[in-house]
Structure 1
Amino acid sequence: MVGRGLRSWIESSLPFMGMVLAVTALATNMIISKMAMSNGTSFFVLSVYSNVLATLILFPCGFLFHRSKRPPLTFPVLCRIFLLACFGCLADIGSYAGIRNSSPTLASELLNLVPGFTYILAIIFRMEGLNLKRLSDISKILGTLVSIVGASIVTLYKGPAIMKKALTLGSSQVLSPLQQNWVLGGILLTIAAFSTAAWSIVQTSILKIYPAEMIIVAIYCIFVTLQSTVAAVIAEKDLTAWKLQAEMGWVAVFFAGIINITLRLYLMSWCLSRTGPLFVSLFNPLTIVVSVVIGVIFFHEVLYFGSVAGAVILVIGFYAVIWGKARESKMKRDAQDVESTSHQDPLLQDSIEEA
């Protein structure tokens, strides 16, 4: 009995541990990529190489996963995956460019804009309803507005530095203020957050007509690789930029390709299949905590009051949206239960009469 209870506890804890690992991978990738770019690695080239590596891993895995039953791959599906890759490529390059001009801490904070943007787009494309008489919808609208206000504070207001210096791993400061353009970085990261939200909308439409997640991801990685390569060729005129001379550049490529893209994608997909999107989305604010801890303690990241204040407001808005979604889901379940009961009652009455 004790062994069964322990096994049940471990199984219920696995999604939690999986999302903690996924969030830690994302936050760590932000730090490592910032270090690589500070040492001269082009974020365009970093995006290309990491996506090439992820493609080499995910493409065979995708078709191996669906080797027994595979839906027919039509031209309209390919077009939608290509559009999906456009948003993914924009989010990828925008994130790297934003981190290069600001900091990983700011990037992790602006990740919380994604649920708000997703909700707005879902209303526009009629994937979400809007009824101002329902408390859940009011909570989602107010939460979205509060999230945008919090993100604006993080982007436009620094304030005094709260933590200026901590334990470092070298003599040079990794995130020098001279390397930072807070406003430009915030704008780029906001564009990346919007692209991520649009990505989720397009992905939802694709899954409805082509329910094979791993194949979609495999083809998606190929398209992102091609698109990021075109962007890099246009942006990087100097051929020496394609050579990763610094050791940190290779570390960033391998970490992004293997851990941040391949492993994190698998972990999130695994957790989504067992817990649903609400559980997974609740871990976004944890990215802020992990990024701050890693950045401030180990990589000389400067922590500003504006980042803390804006992050608190942003998280409050984020959880208001999540609360509204949870309340809405509960109302739908209650309505389904009532409908199910109403269908069962005549059957019960018939059985009583026959008896």
Structure 2
Amino acid sequence: MALKLGLWDVVPFAVMVMVECAEVGITTLSKAAMLRGMNHFVFIVYYNALGTLILLPSFLLRRNKRPPLTFSILCRFFLLGLIGICLRQICAFSGISLSSPTLASALGNLIPAFTFVLAVIFRMERVDLRRGSSQARVMGTIASVGGAFIVTLYKGPPMMMMMMINRTPAAASDPSDHLLNLHYFSEPTSANWVLGGFFMVLTCIFSALWNILQTATVKEYRDETTIVFFYCLFGTIQCAVVTLFIERDINAWILRTRIELIAILYSAIIGGVVTSGVLTWCLRMKGPIYVAMYKPLGIVIAVIMSVIFLGDVLHIGSVIGAVIIVLGFYAVMWGQAKEERLVTGEDRGVSDSGVSTLKDPLLPS
């Protein structure tokens, strides 16, 4: 029995590692497509629309198995689409287009800090500053925000720069065939870097809010496929309306290079379908804090992929800020784990895996 429990505990760990790899892949491919001229608003609409179409057969096959859909549940799905796709993804890909996937992954470690703050605001978490665990969580949150300011406002000298493969006339003739031929001169300016960082911070806030709302939703409506389908459907419609209002040029909707099509297909299948379903499942099984604790892994993956495939330059400011954010992140996680050991079952519900169930005031009693 102990062996079975141990093997089962490995499954969330393995899928969360794959999720981080997949999300960094999305940011890297999308950045490459944007460097080729693709509009990021159009990219969001295309890949979420394709993801919705992929999910449609599964949704229709489960029509006799899923719980009944009520108006309040549909409103919850609409809100998830608004926060998770329309607001979060627009801010995320706007930030990536102005900065880099490395900055996006570094600032992504703010998500657990913001999740903790929102959990306190919504009375999902209690803070007792007399306890060392609560002090660690508060100080970790402050450190994470401070590290984010460093990453965003201070670039510093470059630590390393990989010179890309020399172009040949044949290679330069078809830019869609060579993702690697992106050079240092495409690095964002300081103004764009700061603005991109601002969008990424907003993305982290929306991600934290989405994690909490998604956790509440999946505990009330236990059908991940239906949740993800309506989440993608409503988010696609909302993003399409915003894009049609902002982007009036019809030519922006035309795909011209191979990398644009690859980015859309990968993001729709891996990001829109697989990742969303896995995250929804992990949020129900482990809660929002467990999902957030894998964010530091994205920094390492993003640095490697950005330097190799995009020719990004790693700056000392990004390293210093990322280290501070990660230290703050693990301070929050240490305090969270300490709280779960100190607080008795009568104060907070604890699941069989030892992870807090985070009783959500958004759920009906």
Q: Place the TM-score, normalised by the shorter chain, in its bin.
A: 0.7 to 0.9
- Tell which deviates more after alignment, 183-192 or 117-126: 117-126
Alignment partner, residue 296 of structure 1: 307
**Matched letter for residue 27 of structure 1:** V
CA drift of 1:29 comes to 0.8
CA contact (8 A) 2:80 2:213 kept: yes
CA deviation vs aligned residue, 1:194-221 (integer Å, no higher than 9, x gap):
1111112322333344333321221111
Alignment partner, residue 103 of structure 1: 100
CA contact (8 A) 1:84 1:220 kept: yes
CA drift of 1:324 comes to 1.1
**Matched letter for residue 331 of structure 1:** L
SS of the equivalent of 1:256 reads helix
Instruction: Determine the C-alpha separation between the residues in 2 that align with 1:66 and 1:134.
Output: 49
Aligned pair count reads 332
CA drift of 1:125 comes to 1.4
CA drift of 1:53 comes to 1.0
Alignment partner, residue 175 of structure 2: none
SS of the equivalent of 1:73 reads coil
Distance 1:81 1:274, change over 3 A: closer
Instruction: Determine the C-alpha separation between the residues in 2 that align with 1:195 and 1:272.
Output: 16
CA contact (8 A) 1:175 1:301 kept: no
Distance 1:218 1:305, change over 3 A: same
SS of the equivalent of 1:162 reads strand
- Tell which deviates more after alignment, 172-181 or 256-265: 172-181
Alignment partner, residue 341 of structure 1: none
SS of the equivalent of 1:132 reads coil
CA deviation vs aligned residue, 1:123-153 (integer Å, no higher than 9, x gap):
1111111221222221111111110000110
Please tell me whether residue 125 in structure 1 is matched to residue 96 in structure 2.
no
**Matched letter for residue 199 of structure 2:** L
Higher Rg of the two aligned structures: 1
**Matched letter for residue 20 of structure 2:** V
Instruction: Determine the C-alpha separation between the residues in 2 that align with 1:316 and 1:227.
Output: 37
Structure 2 counterparts to residues 1-355 of structure 1, below 5 A: 13-62=10-59, 64-65=61-62, 67-68=64-65, 70-88=66-84, 89-168=86-165, 170-173=180-183, 176-178=186-188, 181-272=192-283, 277-332=288-343
Instruction: Determine the C-alpha separation between the residues in 2 that align with 1:105 and 1:311.
Output: 10
Task: Name structure 2 gaps, 5 residues minimum.
Answer: 166-178, 349-365
CA drift of 1:182 comes to 0.5
CA contact (8 A) 2:144 2:324 kept: yes
SS of the equivalent of 2:159 reads strand
CA deviation vs aligned residue, 1:132-189 (integer Å, no higher than 9, x gap):
1222221111111110000110000000000122445544428712577100000011
**TM-score, length of structure 2 as denominator length:** 0.84
Alignment partner, residue 340 of structure 1: none
Distance 1:138 1:175, change over 3 A: farther
CA deviation vs aligned residue, 1:1-36 (integer Å, no higher than 9, x gap):
xxx97x987655443332221111001111100000
Distance 1:206 1:263, change over 3 A: closer
CA drift of 1:311 comes to 0.1
SS of the equivalent of 1:131 reads coil
CA contact (8 A) 2:59 2:229 kept: yes
Instruction: Determine the C-alpha separation between the residues in 1 that align with 2:240 and 2:184.
Output: 27
Alignment partner, residue 344 of structure 1: none
**Matched letter for residue 117 of structure 1:** F
SS of the equivalent of 2:343 reads helix
**Matched letter for residue 201 of structure 1:** I
- Tell which deviates more after alignment, 228-237 or 116-125: 116-125
Distance 1:10 1:273, change over 3 A: same
CA contact (8 A) 1:54 1:221 kept: yes
**TM-score, length of structure 1 as denominator length:** 0.86
Task: Name structure 1 gaps, 5 residues minimum.
Answer: 338-355
Q: Identity across aligned pairs (percent)?
A: 43
Instruction: Determine the C-alpha separation between the residues in 2 that align with 1:97 and 1:287.
Output: 19
Q: Could you say what the CA RMSD is over the residues aligned between the two structures, in angstroms?
A: 2.5
CA drift of 1:267 comes to 3.1
Distance 1:139 1:275, change over 3 A: same
**Matched letter for residue 165 of structure 1:** M
CA contact (8 A) 1:63 1:215 kept: no
CA drift of 1:332 comes to 3.2
CA drift of 1:268 comes to 3.1
Instruction: Determine the C-alpha separation between the residues in 2 that align with 1:288 and 1:46.
Output: 23
**Matched letter for residue 75 of structure 1:** F
CA contact (8 A) 1:38 1:174 kept: no
